[in-house]
Amino acid sequence: MNSIDRIRTKIEEIGKLLTEIKTELEVVNKETKPLQKKLTKDEPLPSTEDLRSEYEKLYKEFIARNFKGIEEFIKSKSKYYLKFFCKANNLPLDTTKVSKDGIAKEVMQWMAQREVITKKSI
């Protein structure tokens, strides 16, 4: 085998390696694209204070036993909004893994606990 044949063989090996690398890069790129889409929401969010005042309004609805109003509020909001709503109000919910119905139930459960804790004892 002369030197030209050795060089051609090495070039073929490099070409095969480049093809393998491109394939692996495409696989990794496909795996990370959904994460990028989830993080780049352009929905404007209210301030933390506004989110807390929303929660207080919902709590007043809860005290008035207007559970349907709370459910409608939660169902009308996006999961992105609810994620920050729960975070601003220190509600330990992973909104990505729970449906909106589940979020509504959890929020009302936290409100029920709050009601019991803040009730005056006799």
Listed by start position, the domains of the chain span 1-40, 48-118
**Segment 28-69, tens digit of pLDDT:** 887 776 554 454 466 788 899 999 999 999 999 999 999 999
Q: What is the pLDDT of residue 39?
A: 45
pLDDT at 45: 85
CA angle 38, 40, 43 (to 5 degrees): 100
Say how far residue 93 (Cα) sits from the centre of its chain.
10
Model's pTM, two decimal places?
0.62
